[in-house]
Amino acid sequence: MNLTITDVRLTPILVADPPLLNTQGVHQPYTPRLIVEVETAEGIVGVGETYGDTKYLELARPFATELIGRQVGDLNGLFTVADQVAVDSSRVSGQVDVGGLRGVQTADKLRLSVVSGFEVACLDALGKALGLPVHALLGGKVRDAVDYSAYLFYKWAAHPEGVACEKDDWGAAVDPAGVVAQARLFTERYGFTSFKLKGGVFPPDEEIAAVRALAEAFPGQPLRLDPNGAWSVATSLRVAEELGDVLEYLEDPALGTAAMAEVSAGTDVPLATNMCVTTFAEIKEAFARDAVQVVLSDHHYWGGLRNTQQLAAICRTFGVGVSMHSNTHLGISLAAMTHVASTVPNLHHACDSHYPWQSEDVLTERLVFEGGAVRVSDAPGLGVEVDREKVALLHRRWLDDDGSLRERDDAAAMRVAEPGWVTPAVPRW
């Protein structure tokens, strides 16, 4: 068996996204993603997916060149390659990543997000070559299906007039009744039994009312609220006090480990994060200060599926819960998340997924949620098949773009509706 990588293809695409609101603005009508394909000497092709903004693409290109001639099973070597890829200093802000809300942007995190796309593609190719599912390459599944939560968003009925976009059939959700109606659609369409509301959009009392309305509509079902760090410590504590009886956890109420530690000290409501613990280096302080009780991994910026397993092991050691965060993504990433989640013993919270919001995918067959869960595939590799025509179509959209949509920028998208909008200073409330 010849497992040498002989070709690597990178295809940036733009994927339709509805007008979902968050504290920084609104989703653009199209979001960039990067499809990674590695091909072995025997013609086996593995696929991966990661963030697609230019800053990722410009790292992925030299990375791809370095991979030619290496072994598809040399997963540790991907990190060595990553160390050799130079990151332009203008890309490193040290600030919370605009539009992505995924923690502070560092050179390492950019590199790791690129590694993840290649790691998943290599695992897919290796699994296909060996006739093994990706979960088997990760040590084997401990569950046959992975639970996901309904990821509720405040949402406009449509993107602003005059903006080129795809239509969606979710309707508007800008008040408690709209949020409950959206949650009902999620349960009807996908069978989800737990709910996360993206907050930080309206004043906290309005979001408290929305969560209360959800609790009444779905009694006893797990609920989460995530304002992406938009609140002060005092506001966070007030919300925790008011919703403590119905929340499974509060996600990133305040920004940064110090603020989260203060909130944590003042409430019994568990705190989760995908913003203050986003790298291995951030774990020590956060755990020592008991700032968070659940870490939400995003395998993209944690550097892949094996790093996610390592994160889960560290969380297990320290008695901290683990689950998964998501950003706008397609079926390749959902398959990757499902494989790794199936191998994590200490997964006690349903994972997040944006997938239901994506009406488009690059797969021949979309992944399916049944009873809110995705079945773990036992087919070789990830168990998904890429539709080349769909990739070509979404790539054509990327080629035709004047550049304005190639970087995700939720504040810029908001300015179309509200000229003068700037990303609100934190804490916003």
DSSP lists the bridge partners of residue 225 as 197, 250
Residues with Cβ within 8 Å of residue 143, at least 6 apart in sequence: 342, 347, 376
User: Choosing among ligand GKR, Mg ion, none, which partner's interface includes residue 299 (Cβ < 5 to 8 Å by kind)?
Assistant: none
> CB of 196: closest distance to Mg ion in angstroms?
8
Residue nearest to ligand GKR (CB): 22
The count of residues interacting with ligand GKR (CB under 6 A) is 13
3 state DSSP class of 250: strand
Interacting residue with Mg ion among 226, 282, 361, 409 (CB under 5 A): 226
User: Which of the listed partners (ligand GKR, Mg ion, none) does 327 bind, with a CB threshold of 5 to 8 Å by partner kind?
Assistant: ligand GKR
Q: From the list Mg ion, ligand GKR, none, pick the one residue 96 interacts with, judged by a Cβ distance below 5 to 8 Å according to partner type.
A: none
Q: Which does 198 bind (CB under 5 to 8 A by kind): ligand GKR, Mg ion, none?
A: ligand GKR
CB closer to ligand GKR out of 393 and 422: 422
Closest separation between CB of residue 107 and ligand GKR, Å? 20
Residue 22 dihedral angles phi and psi, to the nearest 5°: -140, -175
Q: Which of 12, 29, 100, 303 binds ligand GKR (CB under 6 A)?
A: 100
For residues 129-141, one letter each, b for 16 or more C-beta atoms within 10 angstroms of the residue's C-beta and e for the rest, the string is bbebbbbbbbeeb
C-beta closer to ligand GKR: residue 46 or 253: 253
Determine the Cα–Cα distance for residues 188 and 173; give it in Å rounded to an integer: 17
Minimum separation from the CB atom of position 155 to ligand GKR (A) = 11
Buried b (16+ CB within 10 A) or exposed e, 26-55: bbbbbbbbbbbbbbbeeebbbbbbbbbbeb
Using alpha carbons, select from 16, 14, 46 the residue that is nearest to residue 33: 14
Decide if 377 contacts 349 (C-beta within 8 A). Answer: no
55 binds, among Mg ion, ligand GKR, none (CB under 5 to 8 A by kind): none
The single-letter DSSP state of residue 350 is P
Q: Residue 40's binding partner, choosing from ligand GKR, Mg ion, none, with beta-carbon cut-off 5 to 8 A by kind?
A: none
Catalytic residue among 198, 299, 329, 354: 198
| Least distance (Å) between residue 102 CB and ligand GKR | 5
The minimum distance between CB 247 and Mg ion, in angstroms, equals 14
Radius of gyration from C-alpha coordinates of the chain? 20
Catalytic site includes residue 299:
no
Query: Residues 256 to 275: which contact ligand GKR by CB under 6 A?
Result: 274
Phi first, then psi: give them for residue 149, nearest 5 degrees. Answer: -100, 155
Contact flag: residue 149 with Mg ion (CB under 5 A): no
| Residue 394 CB partners (closer than 8 Å, separation 6+) | 13, 14, 15, 360, 362
In this chain, which stretch among 96-104, 300-308, 375-383, 415-423 interacts with ligand GKR, using CB under 6 A? 96-104
Answer whether 380's CB lies under 8 Å from 132's CB.
yes
> Minimum distance between the CB of residue 185 and ligand GKR, rounded to whole angstroms?
18
Among 16, 101, 112, 247, binds ligand GKR (CB under 6 A): 101
The string of DSSP letters for 318-334 reads TT-EEEE---S--HHHH
Give min distance, CB of 279 to ligand GKR, in A.
Answer: 15
Q: Rounded to 5 degrees, what angle do the CA atoms 342, 102, 330 make?
A: 50
For ligand GKR, the closer of residues 37 and 207 by Cβ is: 207
**Phi, psi of 223, deg, nearest 5:** -130, 145
Contacts to Mg ion from residues 241-280, by CB under 5 A? 251, 274
What is the four-CA torsion angle of 394, 101, 278, 104, rounded to 10 degrees? Answer: 110
325 is annotated as an active-site residue: yes
What is the nearest approach in angstroms of ligand GKR to the Cβ of residue 232?
Answer: 18
Choose the catalytic residue: 27, 128, 300, 325.
325
Distance separating the N- and C-terminal Cα atoms of the chain: 59
**Alpha carbon separation from 317 to 111, 320, 346 (Å, rounded):** 27, 8, 10
Residue 147 partner contact from ligand GKR, Mg ion, none using kind-dependent CB cut-offs of 5 to 8 Å:
none
Binding mask 3-42 for ligand GKR (x = CB under 6 A): -----------------x-x--------------------
With CB under 6 A as the contact rule, the residue among 106, 149, 182, 327 that binds ligand GKR is 327
Tell me phi and psi for residue 108, to 5 degrees: -60, -40
Q: Pick the closer one to Mg ion by CB: 261 or 324.
A: 324
Give the pair of three-digit tokens for residue 219: 């009694």
Query: What amino acid positions are annotated as catalytic residues?
Result: 198, 325
**Residues within the interface to Mg ion (CB under 5 A):** 226, 251, 274
**Residues within the interface to ligand GKR (CB under 6 A):** 20, 22, 100-102, 198, 226, 228, 274, 325-328
